[in-house]
Amino acid sequence: MALRAALRQKCGLIGILSQPSSSGSHSRVSAVLVSQMRNNATSPKIKVDFNQSTGVAVLSMQSPPVNSLSLDFLTELCISVEKLEMDRACRGLIITSSLPKVFSAGLDILEMYGKSPERCGEFWRAVQEMWLKMYSSNMVTIAAINGSSPAGGCLLSLTCDYRIMSDNPRYSIGLNETLLGIVAPFGTDKNIIKNTHTCSN
């Protein structure tokens, strides 16, 4: 029931958020998706287990050492989510990490150093695409945060409907990217305090 209610609530949001973007920002992922489906390729950075009987998919991030969000990783993530959304049997999505200690270290710092303006633009568009796609997903989404989740890792969890974090004092979460001079828009951090639940691991 709770799952259904959450899904209904989300469907209202989707109407607003899934308007076609004038920048055409979703077209890159869709194009990659089409070509990947044609080639029937599988992604090594993301593992998806879909349980037909429950309608819930578990998406495990498995990009050592720290699941940093590179352009490739973000693209694969979006493709995986897009594929699940195309499957009407999939109603719920749990995002977690298959690495020990780290959920995601956030944006890949190497993407922000010594890259051309074009590449930087592509990268930041992919970041935006990721959080828009997750936030406007028609599935009920849950971040199972089983390790540290700074900055962009925190952002990824904020795009989900629910967050549950392992109750381990060695794991940290938060928008710490200001230490690198990257400023998040006002108001994005309040949800962490309000909506992140913890559980023992």
Ligand X SMILES: CCCCCCCCCC/C=C/CC(=O)SCCNC(=O)CCNC(=O)[C@H](O)C(C)(C)COP(=O)(O)OP(=O)(O)OC[C@H]1O[C@@H](n2cnc3c(N)ncnc32)[C@H](O)[C@@H]1OP(=O)(O)O
Known catalytic residues are: 107, 152, 176-177
Residue 133, interface with ligand X (CB under 6 A)?
no
Alpha carbon of residue 164 to chain centroid: 14
Alpha carbon of residue 70 to chain centroid: 12
Cα–Cα distance list, 4 to 55, 91, 126 (Å):
12, 9, 30
Amino acid at 161: D
Cα–Cα distance list, 18 to 3, 14, 135 (Å):
21, 5, 10
31: which 2 tokens?
């194009």
In contact, 67 and 73? CB cutoff 8 Å: yes
Residue 11, interface with ligand X (CB under 6 A)?
no
Residues 17-56, interacting with ligand X (CB under 6 A): none
Residue 184, interface with ligand X (CB under 6 A)?
yes
Binding segment (CB under 6 A) for ligand X, from list 16-24, 54-62, 86-94, 149-157: 149-157
Chosen residue from 140, 158, 164, 165 binding ligand X by CB under 6 A = 158
Residue 161, interface with ligand X (CB under 6 A)?
no
Residue 82, interface with ligand X (CB under 6 A)?
no
Distance CA 34, CA 40 (A): 10
Smallest distance from ligand X to CB 131, Å = 5
Smallest distance from ligand X to CB 100, Å = 8
Residue 185, interface with ligand X (CB under 6 A)?
yes
Residue 106, interface with ligand X (CB under 6 A)?
yes
Q: Nearest-CB residue to ligand X?
A: 106
- Residue closest to 154 by CA, chosen among 108, 189, 112, 109: 189
Residue 151, interface with ligand X (CB under 6 A)?
yes
In contact, 45 and 62? CB cutoff 8 Å: yes
Residues that bind ligand X (CB under 6 A): 65-66, 68, 101-102, 105-110, 131, 135, 148, 150-152, 155, 158-159, 177, 180, 182, 184-185, 188
